[in-house]
Amino acid sequence: MNLLDSLRALRLLAIVRGTDPGAALRTVLTLAEEGIEAIEVSLTTPDALTVIEQARAALGPEALVGAGTVRTAADGARAVAAGASYLVTPALVDGLRSTGSPEIPVLMGALTPTEIEGALARGACAVKLFPGSLGGPRYLRALRDPFPEVPFVPVGGVDVAAAREYLDQGATAVGVGSPLVGDAADGGDLDELRARAAEFRRAIAGEAR
């Protein structure tokens, strides 16, 4: 799977993090039904590996279901064994190429120019700019000058308005957690999740609200 090409096409990565594994699985499946195809399940979610395994089984082998909050090579190996099709880290993580599937794509977290270089040196296919809320779209615009070729995916505090602004400033895609998922992964209303998903899809497409 070419994660980078998928992110360029889809422009939105949903981040599912919750307290209820059953609700988290329902959230993943609902997002997929609403046309949000790239979905990351945070390993901080209870029984996250089972959620990933069941989501991949339900959505098929080509599903873009990855593991997030991967902090160690061991985390990565367990996620790959559960069926994660890509890994997302919050920071620089060594050893992810030894997860048992060296070709698995990694979206690696970084914030500063030095960390960005570190992520690229570790084989990241794209850089998760985290926490994006610290610098906002203006910070991304400043980074585009020294790093014009680097695919950036801002994550952290990305609401509907910020999503569109990041994309306008050159982000490859945006990663969105609670502004999209809300409390759905804790057992919240799935109809409200569907409404938020539609709103984000319109924003990503550049349609007026």
Q: Which of 34, 37, 53, 128 is catalytic?
A: 128
Contact 77, 87 (CB under 8 A): no
- Classify 40 in phi/psi space as left (phi over 0), alpha (psi -120 to 50) or beta: beta
The SS3 of residue 38 is strand
Tokens of residue 69, six digits = 């909050």
Q: Which of 37, 40, 53, 165 is catalytic?
A: 40
Residue 86 CB neighbours (<10 A): 26
Tokens of residue 188, six digits = 């919240």
Annotation says 165 is catalytic:
no
CA 84 to chain centre: 12
Annotation says 207 is catalytic:
no
Tokens of residue 43, six digits = 């390993």
Catalytic residues, by residue number, are: 40, 128
